[in-house]
Amino acid sequence: MGTPGHMAHPFDVDDIETGEDLVDYINNAVSQLAAGEIAGSVKWDGINTSFKLVTDQDGKKDFRMDRGTNHIESVVGIDAAAAYKKWPSGHGMPPAIEKLLTIFNKALPSIESELKTLGLWDDPTKYFNTEYIEGTSNVQEYGANILAIHGINQFYEKRAQPHAIRKGTSMDRPGAPRPLDSDGKPIKAGGIEIPYSHTALENLIRKVQPHAEQYGFQIFGDVPVEFDEEVELDLEKILEIPIEIQIEPGNVKRASLREWLHMVKHPKDKRITRSDGKSVGALSKDIYMAVLRSATEEGVALSEYLQDPNDINDAINGGIFYHATRLLGQAVKEALTSQAGTLGRHEGVVLRGLEDFLVKFTGDFIVQGLESTHGNHVSENLSRDFTVVISKNREITKSIKDWLTEASEADHKFQRLPEMVYKDILAGTPIVDIVVQENAERTIYNAVMGYVNGLQEEDEFEIDIVDDEQDDPVVDSDYPKTIAVVPGAYKPPHKGHLDMVRKYTEMADEVIVIISKPTKQGRYLPDGREITSADSLKIWNALISDMPNVKVEASKDHASPITAAYDFIGDKGPLNTGDTVILGASTKDDDWKRWLSAEQYVKDGVNLLNPEQTAVSPTMRPSGEPYSSTEFRNALGGALENRAEIADFVGEENVDVVLDALGLSAPIEETSGAGAVAGPAAPLGPTLVRRGPLTPTPKKKKKTKQKEYIDLSLIDEVMKLIIERGITQ
């Protein structure tokens, strides 16, 4: 279901970097909960059906579902009719949404005052964070149908992708200002629980309850938890549980959970590749089960489960983090009780007060979730109908099983569709309006398989669909896009460059940053170290970490940024017929004029937008001076004393990445990491990392004019262009 009511596991907390951090965090949570310093509530096992009150243009109010995305239907709100249109026939969400909204809409006239007190009457950015439970839930089985309102949340504001706005499928989402994380980047959470009147919510539930009973439901609000005096909680005992991991065939490492936690560090967002070629998160159920089972009869050694032995370290990091969260969380759950019974029969406990967001301990539910009731009914899910609209007058409906059988008989290999194409198909956009006829069949198969993959991610059932990444994916060949190409030397890149790229993300579906090949004369730091394309690439990747539609690549052939761009947009480049291209330029000093001859180099069928009209204004330093790579290199000459100035060029959150990329990191005495388990032959002890002292280089005085040089390699490229293509005046 959607993610507006998402709650974090302990390993989702940014401050947790090591296994020892995880243990400290859980111990601290237990102590604060026992002391009443934070609050704990029952976490019900249901489908998140967060909903809000909206006001139509005619002033009429009604409740609607909100999945927390930027899709227009979600921001505006999904009513029952829209739900039946959105999900395929037989899907469980439409009837759940219909019952939920019907119950609350019937009660609406009687709960106006409570809604006003809760802040939901005239603010659709706020919503009820709700779990819907009917019969057997995702995993747990309850004796009644339940609507559990965890609290009142508010969405964070979120800007939609420009191409999706142009297409008319998405819109900017209003909401509370989005906070920045410890690195100064916008957080990814969809929303946050806000303070609310518990009395008002209790009164609202009391008034809605008679309507809920007509549909066989009970409504619960916040159900507090407390430690059961008759149950002993002994986390130290849990930490002594032995864990065996088979690194390679016959090489089994055995240590207590405490010892493993002493060695591992958080894998964060790292991805690793299984032996079948599928990329998965290091911190995922897939890898957790592989690590947990590696030393058992049904398991395989990690060296065989993974494609690259270098990924073993991250797999163990992720597996141990998952296992510790499960075992310690389960122990905490079993020691808690509530008016709804002991927490062993519920999904978990929700903790308020530890962070600005909700944190949950779910224990064994992490494993049980792999075997949910959704997953036990494979035949039921395969029998679902999946409808594809071919044209305005024709649509085809088949079961998922029939679609998959047909695709298999056609020897179709799955290729993931672009997100907007996939969603258009699910929304009923005719195939003929999306792709040309010869691509229709494989696009339909990919849509069906993508839908099945989505069910797999929700643990609804398991079917092995292999994503063929060896072929050219459909996303690269079939759908016209607007692409901005921003070439440069970038030795090194800085905020001025970054801001230009950020502005182009608002104009284009994709932005391609091209780092030109180093010139023969090169770009050097004051200490004589050359800044390479690899250095620039590493720095760029840090700067664009929050921009998913930006790709950076280094040219292997061209020292001239302009020539590199012409090569990209030319006959041998990756652009496709129907694509639109923007060439990056600044409005300063008529920088766009360097593209006056660009039209003759563009591949036939590709539309080049006017460079003068797409040029962007430059960003200035706080001092009012323009950003300069030369000045940046000078600042890097005294990395220790010039940290503030370096931060001016790349942001404080990126200073260490830049210094590390250029070999200018400040000395550190020692760091203990998970090198203890890095690779089959790695020792189990901590690894110390030492670096020699850094000798700062005095900053050069600013010159009023830099002496220019002529690079012969650039002349060679220009002459080649003149000979091959001629010159246009």
- Reply yes or no: is the peptide bond before residue 611 cis, omega within 30 of 0: no
- Give pLDDT, residue 384: 67
- Give pLDDT, residue 342: 84
Among 552, 567, 568, CA closest to 515:
552
- Give pLDDT, residue 405: 80
- Write out pLDDT tens, residues 672-700: 333 444 433 333 233 222 223 333 333 33
**What does the CA dihedral 213, 217, 222, 228 come to, rounded to 10 degrees?**
110
Backbone angles phi, psi at 220, to 5 degrees: -120, 145
Average pLDDT value for residue range 28-34? 94
- Say yes or no to pLDDT of 33 above 50: yes
- Say yes or no to pLDDT of 319 above 90: yes
Least confident of 81-90, 253-262, 564-573, 589-598: 81-90
**Confidence class for position 378, pLDDT limits 50, 70, 90:** very low
- Say yes or no to pLDDT of 175 above 50: yes
- Give pLDDT, residue 568: 92
Distance CA 283, CA 544 (A): 23
Range ranked top by mean pLDDT from 106-120, 127-141, 276-290, 600-614: 106-120
**What does the CA dihedral 451, 456, 461, 464 come to, rounded to 10 degrees?**
90
Total Cβ atoms within 10 A of residue 217: 20
Per CATH, domain 482-637 is 3.40.50.620: yes
Range ranked top by mean pLDDT from 293-297, 423-427, 447-451, 653-657: 293-297
Least confident of 332-341, 344-353, 366-375, 540-549: 366-375
- Say yes or no to pLDDT of 248 above 90: yes
DSSP state of 279: E
Range ranked top by mean pLDDT from 313-317, 334-338, 634-638, 650-654: 313-317
Residues with Cβ < 8 Å from 384, sequence gap 6 or more?
A: 88, 89, 90, 91, 399, 400
Among 366, 372, 381, CA closest to 463:
381
Distance CA 264, CA 252 (A): 17
- Write out pLDDT tens, residues 469-516: 333 333 333 456 889 999 998 989 999 999 999 999 888 888 999 998
Residue of 697 and 436 predicted with greater confidence: 436
- Give pLDDT, residue 135: 62
DSSP state of 195: -
Q: What is the pTM (predicted TM-score) of this model? A: 0.51
- Write out pLDDT tens, residues 177-227: 988 877 677 877 788 889 999 999 999 999 999 999 999 999 988 888 999
Confirm if 314 and 682 have CB atoms less than 8 A apart. no
Alpha helices in 277-311 (DSSP H): 285-293, 302-305
- Give pLDDT, residue 90: 67
Distance CA 682, CA 311 (A): 13
Q: Which long-range contacts (CB under 8 A, 24 or more apart) does 652-656 make?
A: 652/184, 653/182, 653/183, 653/184, 653/185, 654/539, 654/542, 654/543
Distance CA 266, CA 256 (A): 18
Average pLDDT value for residue range 114-122? 96
- % the chain with pLDDT above 70: 81
Half-sphere exposure of 583 (CA within 13 A, CB side): 28
**Confidence class for position 142, pLDDT limits 50, 70, 90:** low
C-alpha distance across the termini of the chain, in Å: 59
Residue of 542 and 38 predicted with greater confidence: 38
- Write out pLDDT tens, residues 188-198: 778 888 999 99
How many angstroms separate the most distant Cα atoms in the chain? 90
Average pLDDT value for residue range 264-288? 86
- Say yes or no to pLDDT of 145 above 60: yes
Range ranked top by mean pLDDT from 383-392, 526-535, 612-621: 612-621
- Say yes or no to pLDDT of 12 above 60: yes
Cα–Cα distance list, 566 to 503, 609, 612, 614 (Å): 21, 14, 17, 17
- Give pLDDT, residue 538: 86
CA 405-409-411 angle, 5° bins:
115
- Say yes or no to pLDDT of 709 above 80: no
Give 3-state DSSP helix, strand, coil % of the chain, rounded to 5. Answer: 40, 20, 40
Q: Where are the CATH 3.40.50.620 domain residues in the chain?
A: 482-637
Confirm if 322 and 11 have CB atoms less than 8 A apart. yes
Average pLDDT value for residue range 326-353? 87
Average pLDDT value for residue range 383-392? 79
